[in-house]
């Protein structure tokens, strides 16, 4: 069992991030995440980049034995007309948020040589994702279920493995592709929930949508920082990475207002539109 808190004053936030990342119990992971983010905000943790993580370092992650992880196509489709159907829907989003906690802490631990603001940004993101998970977990309980009661897939963490060697690629493909997809689909989710009168879940999704814009914006900011550091063109690099690794994730409709607020410029939005059109033909 990993100790959650308090953290030792002066500890490196990247060591602390690794502890949070490896914690498997959801309640302890949430407590550790909140404590770590607060300790960093209070100036108790160092953000120096002196920890060297080998490029081929493992991508092990702490998570509970359940939910069982299955291929996406093996997940049954359920309607929202029953408590079980709505619980399965909430569970799928909770699983995304649980993975997002791990993704944020993995970025803090894995990528050295970044400015202090990078580590502060992703620690704040981890804290937000932990709060989102807690809201969804509580909603599951109201519906008579718990995290782990439904199967889930491992798509987000698969991309974490593929981008473990490169902060630039991680920033491009996780926040700016996979998490940005949430900006696109959440309004339609909210509309479906409104159709069945589930105002409690709508309120949670409204909060998540509003706050996820800032998370994707952090990905945009640090992707461009990495491109400037490496002397590569952000637009061409982003397009190339999508075609190589994530073309299937680029689908219409796009939430243009949310994506613009999250740091996508007009050229990027036009390029995404062209890629989506090409995928549909």
- For 239-273, write each residue's pLDDT tens digit: 999 999 988 889 999 999 999 999 999 999 999 99
The domains found in the chain, sorted by start residue, are 78-280 (1.20.1260)
Mean pLDDT (whole number) for 82-101: 96
> What per-residue confidence (pLDDT) applies to 55?
63
Say whether pLDDT at 1 is over 60: no
Q: d(Cα 92, Cα 85) in Å, to the nearest integer?
A: 11
Percentage with pLDDT > 70 across the chain? 93
- What per-residue string of b and e applies to 91-104 under the rule 16 or more CB within 10 Å gives b? bbbbbbbbbbbbbb
Q: d(Cα 103, Cα 216) in Å, to the nearest integer?
A: 13
- Tell me 247's DSSP state: G
C-alpha distances in Å from residue 117, one per residue of 89, 142, 261: 35, 38, 20
Say whether pLDDT at 3 is over 70: no
Mean pLDDT (whole number) for 134-161: 94
Mean of all residue pLDDT scores within the chain: 91
Say whether pLDDT at 229 is over 50: yes
- What per-residue string of b and e applies to 30-56 under the rule 16 or more CB within 10 Å gives b? bbbbbbbbbbbeeebbbbebeeeeeee
Cβ-based burial of 25 (10 A; exposed 0-12, middle 13-18, buried ≥19): middle
> What per-residue confidence (pLDDT) applies to 56?
63
């Amino acid at each position: 069992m990993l100790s959650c808190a308090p953290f030792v004053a002066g500890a490196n936030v990247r060591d602390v991030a690794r502890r949070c990342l490896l914690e498997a119990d959801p309640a302890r992971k949430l407590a550790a995440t909140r404590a770590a983010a607060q300790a960093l905000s209070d100036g108790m943790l160092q953000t120096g980049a002196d920890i060297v993580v080998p490029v081929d370092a493992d991508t092990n992650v702490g998570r509970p034995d359940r939910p069982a992880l299955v291929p996406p196509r093996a997940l049954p489709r359920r309607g929202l007309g029953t408590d079980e159907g709505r619980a399965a829907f909430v569970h799928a989003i909770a699983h995304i948020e649980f993975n997002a906690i791990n993704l944020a802490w993995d970025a803090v631990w894995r990528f050295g040589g970044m400015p202090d603001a990078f580590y502060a940004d992703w620690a704040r993101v981890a804290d937000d994702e932990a709060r989102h998970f807690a809201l969804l977990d509580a909603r599951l309980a109201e519906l008579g279920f718990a995290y782990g009661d439904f199967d889930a897939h491992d798509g987000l963490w698969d991309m974490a493995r593929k981008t473990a060697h490169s902060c630039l690629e991680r920033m491009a493909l996780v926040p700016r592709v996979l998490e940005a997809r949430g900006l696109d689909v959440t309004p339609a989710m909210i509309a479906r929930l409104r159709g069945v009168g589930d105002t409690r879940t709508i309120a949670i999704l409204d909060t998540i949508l509003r706050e996820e814009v800032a998370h994707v914006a952090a990905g945009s900011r640090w992707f461009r920082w990495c491109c400037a550091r490496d002397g590569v063109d952000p637009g061409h690099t982003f397009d190339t990475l999508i075609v190589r690794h994530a073309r299937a994730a680029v689908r219409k409709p796009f939430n243009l207002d949310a994506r613009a607020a999250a740091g996508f410029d007009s050229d990027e939005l036009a390029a995404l539109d062209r890629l989506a059109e090409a995928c549909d033909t």
